[in-house]
């Protein structure tokens, strides 16, 4: 008998079930092929928009679901349970870009962009550069004021969703002498002259997800496309990444849940010494450990999301959630491979893909050591 998942409201449980059924029906048959080919099936994004999970917090008047951040977390978890590459597509759209536009953009930019993001336009979040990873504010992309526009020059690296995106939230510095206080957020649209998407990275995991370089060469961005106040982009970056880390935590628990489900199914069927291997105490102990660690991580992720929706402080809890969930995803997927034995080391079963997909959780949107640093600073404040 499977243990019940963490308690959800009726509405949340119905939503979870809907997304899970969609993922199993539409994503599961495509996941391995997309991983092998290194790109999404062309139908995937339209299916996600049709389901309504690409604009979960966007108000209904702008074409969205008008729902909560917690619902975004549930969607990311359930999609990632089947394919974490699609999970991060949903995550960036909702917890990073959608969240930032909803909170910081002024009308009519907010209305125009959120309507597009609800009706078929994928978005990307562009902060990282070659010389600014964990030190995010060491970015070199510049924005020069010129009449009613800003002219942007620079390069961005490791940008998720870049190949599919039609709009990009780009961080650039309008006043390098002011340091991070010159950083400003711009909404760059794909068809703006001088803007291009560079090479796609060939990655270990989440291979279908595009991770590309962005090239900005004298890209003229109208002033109405500034998100928030000039020189306050650092605030937008910090606050949206704090929220985004909860989304990555959801992606990681989704991966771990998928691996646990695989392991439970396999160990109930695979026989050795005349009995299913799930009847051996050593295997049972491994399954129990996997389930316990996963539930602990899920509670951290859900708690951080609930705090965010309640308007309560959540930064430390978000860091804890991402830290723990990424560790659990790695350990649970590794154990799942071991329970499969030699079969788990092949591409015949999905557990090896889950193992590869899990590794990124300790790296992007703030490394594990950066999360530890955040937790420690807040504890000592």
| Domain 10-122 falls under CATH 1.10.540.10 | yes
User: DSSP assignment, residue 42?
Assistant: T
In the chain, % of residues over pLDDT 90: 96
How would residue 5 be classed by pLDDT, with cut points 50, 70 and 90?
low
122-126 and 165-173 beta bridge pairing: parallel
Cα 33 to chain centroid distance, Å, stands at 21
CA distances to 161, 185, 242 from 237, rounded to whole Å, are 17, 8, 9
Residue 142, H or E segment? strand 142-146
Please name which of 307, 305, 306, 299 lies closest in space to residue 324, comparing C-alpha atoms: 299
The structure tokens listed for 255 are 């991966």
Please name which of 121, 132, 224 lies closest in space to residue 171, comparing C-alpha atoms: 132
Residue 230 has a CB neighbour count (10 Å cut-off) of 17
Write the pLDDT tens digit of every residue in 267-286: 999 999 999 999 999 999 99
Mean pLDDT of 339-368: 97
165-173 and 183-189 beta bridge pairing: antiparallel
Cis check: omega of the bond before 313, within 30 degrees of 0: no
Half-sphere exposure of 186 (CA within 13 A, CB side): 29
Strand, coil or helix: what is 170? strand
Write the pLDDT tens digit of every residue in 64-112: 999 999 999 999 999 999 999 999 999 999 999 999 999 999 999 999 9
The structure tokens listed for 116 are 């597009």
Residue 274 has a CB neighbour count (10 Å cut-off) of 5
* pLDDT score for 124: 98
CATH superfamily for domain 235-380: Butyryl-CoA Dehydrogenase, subunit A, domain 3 (1.20.140.10)
For residues 255 and 355, give the distance between their C-alpha atoms in angstroms, rounded to a whole number: 8
Q: Of residues 115, 243, 327, 365, which has the active-site annotation?
A: 365
Burial of 216 (0-12, 13-18, 19+ CB in 10 A): buried
Mean pLDDT of 117-143: 93
Residue 143, H or E segment? strand 142-146
Start-to-end Cα distance in the chain: 45
Cα 333 to chain centroid distance, Å, stands at 18
365 has catalytic annotation: yes
Please report the sign of the dihedral spanned by the C-alpha atoms of residue 248, residue 254, residue 256, residue 258: negative
CATH 2.40.110.10 domain span(s) along the chain: 124-231
Looking up tokens 């991770």 gives: 211
Write the pLDDT tens digit of every residue in 159-206: 999 999 999 999 999 999 999 999 999 999 999 999 999 999 999 999
The structure tokens listed for 242 are 């704090």
Residue 152: phi and psi, rounded to 5, are -105, 135
pLDDT beyond 90 at 133:
no
The structure tokens listed for 266 are 């396999």
pTM of the model: 0.97
How would residue 2 be classed by pLDDT, with cut points 50, 70 and 90?
low
| Those residues with Cβ within 8 angstroms of residue 111's Cβ, 6 or more apart along the chain or in another chain | 62
Please report the sign of the dihedral spanned by the C-alpha atoms of residue 332, residue 335, residue 339, residue 344: positive
pLDDT beyond 60 at 1:
no
Q: Between 132 and 334, where is the model more confident?
A: 334
CATH 1.10.540.10 domain span(s) along the chain: 10-122
The structure tokens listed for 179 are 């340091």
* pLDDT score for 35: 98
CA distances to 149, 216, 258, 291 from 109, rounded to whole Å, are 15, 21, 39, 45
Q: Which CATH number fits domain 124-231: 3.40.50.450, 2.70.150.10, 3.20.20.140, 2.40.110.10?
A: 2.40.110.10
CATH 1.20.140.10 domain span(s) along the chain: 235-380
For residues 259 and 325, the answer to whether their CB atoms sit within 8 Å is no
For residues 16 and 67, give the distance between their C-alpha atoms in angstroms, rounded to a whole number: 13
């Amino acid at each position: 008998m499977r243990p019940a998942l963490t308690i959800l409201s009726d509405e949340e449980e119905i939503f979870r079930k809907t997304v899970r059924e969609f993922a199993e029906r539409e994503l599961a048959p495509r996941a391995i092929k997309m991983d092998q080919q290194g790109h999404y099936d062309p139908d995937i994004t339209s299916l996600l928009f049709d389901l309504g999970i690409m604009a979960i917090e966007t108000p209904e008047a702008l074409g969205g679901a008008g729902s909560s951040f917690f619902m975004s977390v549930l969607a990311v978890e359930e999609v990632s349970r089947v394919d974490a590459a699609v999970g991060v597509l949903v995550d960036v759209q909702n917890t990073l870009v959608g969240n930032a536009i909803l909170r910081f953009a002024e009308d009519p930019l907010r209305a125009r962009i959120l309507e597009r993001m609800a009706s078929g336009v994928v978005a990307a979040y562009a902060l990282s550069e070659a010389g600014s990873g964990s030190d995010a504010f060491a970015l070199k992309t510049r924005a020069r004021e010129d009449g009613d526009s800003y002219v942007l020059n620079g390069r961005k690296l490791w940008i998720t969703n870049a190949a599919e995106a039609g709009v990009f939230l780009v961080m650039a510095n309008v006043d390098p002498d002011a340091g991070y206080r010159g950083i400003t957020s711009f909404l760059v649209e794909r068809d703006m002259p001088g803007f291009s998407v560079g090479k796609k990275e060939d990655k270990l995991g989440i291979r279908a997800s595009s991770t590309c370089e962005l090239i900005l060469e004298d890209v003229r961005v109208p002033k109405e496309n500034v998100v928030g106040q000039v020189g306050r982009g650092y605030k937008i970056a910090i606050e949206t990444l704090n929220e985004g880390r909860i989304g990555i935590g959801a992606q990681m628990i989704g991966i771990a849940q998928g691996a646990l489900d695989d392991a439970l199914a396999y160990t109930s069927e695979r026989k050795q010494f005349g009995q299913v291997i799930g009847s051996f105490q050593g295997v049972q102990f491994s399954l129990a450990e996997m389930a316990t660690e996963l539930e602990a991580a899920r509670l951290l992720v859900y708690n951080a999301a609930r705090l965010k929706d309640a308007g309560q402080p959540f930064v430390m809890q978000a860091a804890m959630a991402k830290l723990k969930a990424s560790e659990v995803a790695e350990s649970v997927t590794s154990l799942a491979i071991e329970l499969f034995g030699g079969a788990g080391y092949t591409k015949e079963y999905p557990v090896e893909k889950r193992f590869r997909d899990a590794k990124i959780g300790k790296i992007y949107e703030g490394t594990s050591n950066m999360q530890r640093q955040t937790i420690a600073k807040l504890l000592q404040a």
